[in-house]
Amino acid sequence: MGKTVTEKLLASHLVEGNLQKGEEIGIRIDQTLTQDATGTMAYLEFEATGIPRVQTELSVCYVDHNLVQSDFRNADDHRFLQSVARKYGLYFSPPGNGISHQVHLERFGVPGKTLLGSDSHTPTGGGLGMLAIGAGGLDVAMAMAGKPFYLVMPKVFGIKLTGSLPDWVSARDVLLEILRQLSVKGGVGYIMEYFGPGVKELSVTDRASITNFGAELGATTSVFPADENTRKFLESQGRGDLWTPLNADEDAQYDEVIEIDMSTLEPLIACPSSPDNVVKVSEVAGKPVAQVLVGSCSNSSLRDLMVVAKVLHREQVHADVSFEINPGSRQVLENITDLGEMLTLIRAGARVHQAGCLGCIGMGQAPPTGTISLRTFPRNFPGRSGTVNDQVYLCSPEVAIASAIKGEITDPRVLGEYPDLNLPEKYLLGDQRIEPPLVSGEEVEIIRGPNITPFPEFEPLPESWHGKVLLKVGDNITTDHIMPAGAKILPLRSNIPAISEYVYNSVDLEFLQRSREALTDGLGGMVVGGENYGQGSSREHAALAPRYLGVGIKLVKSFARIHKANLINFGILPLTFEDPADYDALQQDAEVEITGIRDAIASGSELLTLLLGGKPVKARLEVSERHREILLAGGLLNWARKAG
């Protein structure tokens, strides 16, 4: 039987297990990336392994998230990361150099390789034909230490692309349409693989926008074949020698298939406050906008900024709109300047910022109260922009610029003829600030600012577990709800005691107090949730910080992949309701008792009985043998120490 691109990539990297859907497999990781907000913790964890140098073919340490330096914390972390990169043999991409995913695509991605990144948008690399997966920092630390990455062998969701995109409709609309059809949990348990005659109509940066935004489907990752367009892209980056073709076989079988005829698409937009809340732009046109942001790892390539610049040749930004551009990389900035378009942007009224994540993670750029903000970003979860009750819409650069000009949500097709973009054949590379690895890091001293506190120690799982329900939440809870980000909280990422004070802050301000009281009473904490619990980011702080506050169990209807893995890594039991109806009966503050929990887990039992408020409730523990050992040890670091 023919193979999909996914199966070929998995087969060529398989080191443990069999390629059977639903079974745990271990794959070799060729490349890793970290960004600063997850990276500081990932390197503290790597340090704990005692391995003197990264064991991958290539590892890159990026600084792109925590760019606002309102005190010493972020700046200290940047220096820590630079010294770590020098010590352990990594490339270092400094602040201002660009968003990890964009820079990695331009300068490091290679078709046919695996990439593990401590950021949920790592699948951007799938646009190049890589198997690029987002994971928690600890998993990435393990991969840097040369260990396999373990995952449940996913099913393959084929997306057949036909036709070509009409003018003013772009790659973002393809994924918005898929989100509209499948929702934010439609990709859970799958790798999304693109095939069909429409693939060749998309450039690598278009494909990368799609695989990037595909993270919002909850998918393990998304992947495109590597073809002539891939070769052209690599050549434009002076890396043509790294091209290898990678295609699905003619008779490859997918577990599910949908077809998207791109020629029938029209401009789409995701309304507040979920990426799958998608409607046609024409349905919401006319609503006034106060802010329009073009940027993020989803849509900030040279192509995206050129669309904006070319439109601004004939128009000006509306007086009531703050129109801001966050370029994806130094390379994008250099090229747009070289093409003379920086002047166009500035003259037309754009605020051009340094290359980085910025407002996408609430690092500045909060919108004014009660106004609409339009963004070419991948996420619009409530409050993520930094403004309470925000109204963030997600759209393409085409919709963004049309709306910035008119001052209201606008279908870009009113702008007339689609501009000719004239993209260069060869790019200025813009990588002069990327530091290559040192031959030896032995002499390098790691620079540790006072913000970096030691990694907390956790106890192994007790014989019996006694605690209470600290919080009950609904469906689609994001890691932004669990562990908010933004300019105030992100600088605390390397200080677990400090950051844990913000756990569930936007949901329930009393959560901290309740968890502290339970700790004082010697009780464990349990959180109860609905479907797709923990969707969104890869941040392991959404597991680590609750664990620090004594949370030992999460009992939900279903989990998002990365969050479940992070819970296990930090020794929190990820349980699901055997009977979802039990969810309704459960109340906050209910007492929880599980006797003989260690024995049950060690014996491989998939069903545990919990006494919840005195009533027996069945819960599932669907994890591998290795995960059971990790849970018993109280987390992956404890387990790895024991295993030696």
Which positions touch ligand MIC (CB under 6 A)? 37-38, 65, 119-121, 134, 361, 379, 485, 536-539
- Report the partner that residue 99 touches, choosing among ligand MIC, ligand SF4, none (CB closer than 5 to 8 A by kind): ligand SF4
Q: What share of the chain is helix, strand, coil (3-state, %, to 5)?
A: 35, 20, 45
Q: How far is the CB of 505 from ligand SF4 (least distance, A)?
A: 19
Q: How far is the CB of 189 from ligand MIC (least distance, A)?
A: 19
Q: Which is nearer to ligand MIC, 35 or 576 (CB)?
A: 35
Residue 599 among the catalytic residues: no
Residue 379 among the catalytic residues: yes
The whole-angstrom separation of Cα 190 and Cα 221 is: 8
Q: Which is nearer to ligand SF4, 252 or 297 (CB)?
A: 297
The whole-angstrom separation of Cα 634 and Cα 258 is: 42
Among the listed residues 33, 61, 174, 361, the single contact to ligand SF4 using CB under 6 A: 361
- Report the partner that residue 169 touches, choosing among ligand MIC, ligand SF4, none (CB closer than 5 to 8 A by kind): none
Q: Which is nearer to ligand SF4, 59 or 300 (CB)?
A: 300
**Distance (Å) of CA 502 to CA 57, 535, 545, 600:** 37, 18, 9, 33
Hey, how many other C-beta atoms are within 10 angstroms of the C-beta on 426? 10
- Report the partner that residue 38 touches, choosing among ligand SF4, ligand MIC, none (CB closer than 5 to 8 A by kind): ligand MIC
* DSSP string for residues in 299-330: S-SHHHHHHHHHHHTT----TT-EEEE--SBH
Distance separating the N- and C-terminal Cα atoms of the chain:
41
For the segment 62-81, give every residue that binds ligand SF4 (CB under 6 A): 65
Residue 119 among the catalytic residues: yes
Q: Pairing relation of β-strands 607-612 and 615-620? A: antiparallel
Q: Does residue 121 belong to the site contacting ligand SF4 (CB under 6 A)?
A: yes
- Per CB under 6 A, the segment of 73-81, 187-195, 357-365, 454-462 that binds ligand SF4 is 357-365
The whole-angstrom separation of Cα 50 and Cα 637 is: 12
Q: How far is the CB of 147 from ligand MIC (least distance, A)?
A: 21
The sign of the dihedral angle between the CA atoms of 609, 610, 615, 617 is: negative
Q: How far is the CB of 569 from ligand MIC (least distance, A)?
A: 15
Q: How far is the CB of 223 from ligand SF4 (least distance, A)?
A: 19
- 120-152 core/surface letters (b: 16 or more CB in 10 A; e: else): bbbbbbbbbbbbbbbbbbbbbbbbbbebbbbbb
Residue 537 among the catalytic residues: yes
**Which of 76, 119, 173, 276 is flagged as catalytic?**
119
**Which of 104, 172, 379, 627 is flagged as catalytic?**
379
Q: How far is the CB of 65 from ligand SF4 (least distance, A)?
A: 6
- Per CB under 6 A, the segment of 375-383, 434-442, 528-536, 571-579 that binds ligand SF4 is 375-383
Beta bridge partners of 94: none
Q: How far is the CB of 537 from ligand SF4 (least distance, A)?
A: 7
Q: Does residue 42 belong to the site contacting ligand SF4 (CB under 6 A)?
A: no
Residue 76 among the catalytic residues: no
Residue that the structure tokens 């859907």 belong to: 21
The sign of the dihedral angle between the CA atoms of 25, 53, 212, 121 is: positive
Among the listed residues 119, 139, 411, 540, the single contact to ligand SF4 using CB under 6 A: 119
- Per CB under 6 A, the segment of 127-135, 186-194, 267-275, 353-361 that binds ligand SF4 is 353-361
Written as six digits, the tokens of 90 are 């990594």
Q: Which is nearer to ligand SF4, 225 or 364 (CB)?
A: 364
Q: Does residue 378 belong to the site contacting ligand SF4 (CB under 6 A)?
A: yes
Three-class secondary structure of residue 464 per DSSP: coil
Q: Does residue 529 belong to the site contacting ligand SF4 (CB under 6 A)?
A: no
Distance of CA 360 to the CA centre of its chain: 12
Q: Does residue 360 belong to the site contacting ligand SF4 (CB under 6 A)?
A: yes
The whole-angstrom separation of Cα 229 and Cα 233 is: 6
Q: Which is nearer to ligand SF4, 56 or 209 (CB)?
A: 209
The whole-angstrom separation of Cα 433 and Cα 345 is: 25
Q: Which is nearer to ligand SF4, 161 or 357 (CB)?
A: 357
**Which of 83, 93, 329, 537 is flagged as catalytic?**
537
Residue 64 among the catalytic residues: yes
Which pairs with CB-CB distance under 8 Å and at least 24 residues apart come from 14-19? 15/148, 16/148, 16/150, 17/153, 19/153
The CA-CA-CA angle for residues 106, 341, 325, to 5°, reads 65
The whole-angstrom separation of Cα 370 and Cα 604 is: 52
Residues that bind ligand SF4 (CB under 6 A): 65, 99, 119, 121, 296-297, 357, 360-361, 377-379
Catalytic residues: 64-65, 119, 379, 537, 539
